[in-house]
Amino acid sequence: MVGSAIVRYLLANGVKQAQIVTRTHAELDLTNQAAVQTFFAQEKPDQVYLAAAKVGGIHANNTYPAEFIYDNLMIQANIIDAAFKNRVKKLLFLGSSCIYPKLAPQPMREDALLTGTLEATNEPYAIAKIAGIKLCESYNRQYGVSHGVDYRSVMPTNLYGPGDNYHAENSHVIPALIRRFHEAKISNAPSVAIWGTGTPKREFLYVDDMAAASVHVMNLDKATYDQQTQPMLSHINVGYGSDVSIAEAAQTIAQVVGYTGSVTFDTSKPDGTPRKWMDSSRLNSLGWQAQVPLLQGLTQAYQDFLKK
């Protein structure tokens, strides 16, 4: 989802198709160190956007914790090290808002990292993403001056939009609800049950906004980036700027889909983190702001779902 959005943004902003190198999962297993090294040695990219990851919602994180930590650690380690060994000067690593403590003060600032206990349901994934940030910082600290390495990290809030995974169980909340409300509309189901109480609040960012932010941060001159970050606290938050409750999000999705039944809440299921609202003031001060409001983004996401 994110990788294709970054490609769309680059193409729309003057980068030629021939200048963009991509690989599907079928073409390149990023957990295979030798395959990744071979790819970098052959392609010799100038810049790398590291958007690849194993992702999912609460159910997937709870069910496959080993894959979530192993696959993400391997993907990140293989790509970042191969980039360095093949003289890539600029790399952007995409993390996740789940790197922050479960009870971090809201909105979550970058300096909340490593100040408290993580949310248990996605701790393996969060630890992998924290390791990715620290990989970038460590290569910068050791090789920034000697080799001109400039590896940066951005932490997006919850993303949605074209190219999302609409699996009924292993997807994130928005694509999962789009699918469930659509299926309920088709079958005339009287109600749709949502996991948890509906009270947790989440911030949602349309994926094309994330793509624009990624390119914006990648292209910031080094002096500006260094001025806004620290060598061991170098990541930048990317958020929409406000959040909504899961109940509000569900009602909006029902409206977009055209589902007219009732919405209920299964309180036997976990809520996850009570609130995950990002403080994006650092990125806003650097000249980027989200553009796509939730209702518009959800409408476009539903149109994408209908094409599947």
DSSP 3-state assignment of 298? helix
Give the C-alpha separation, 235 to 86, whole Å: 23
Nearest to 1 by CA among 74, 44, 52: 52
Identify the burial level of 287 via C-beta atoms within 10 angstroms of its C-beta, where 0-12 means exposed, 13-18 middle and 19 or more buried: exposed
Marked catalytic residue, from 125, 139, 151, 240: 125
Edge-first strand order for the sheet with 244-245 is 244-245, 201-202, 275-276
Phi then psi dihedrals of residue 206, to 5 deg: -65, 135
Q: Are 51 and 7 contacting, i.e. CB atoms less than 8 angstroms apart?
A: no
Rounded to 5°, angle at Cα 206 from 201 and 212: 130
125 is catalytic: yes
Edge-first strand order for the sheet with 236-238 is 47-50, 90-94, 150-156, 236-238
Return the sign of the alpha-carbon dihedral for residues 78, 82, 84, 85.
positive
Give the C-alpha separation, 248 to 216, whole Å: 31
Q: Provide the token pair at 232.
A: 């061991």
Give the N- to C-terminal CA distance of the chain in Å, as an integer. 14
Active site residues: 125
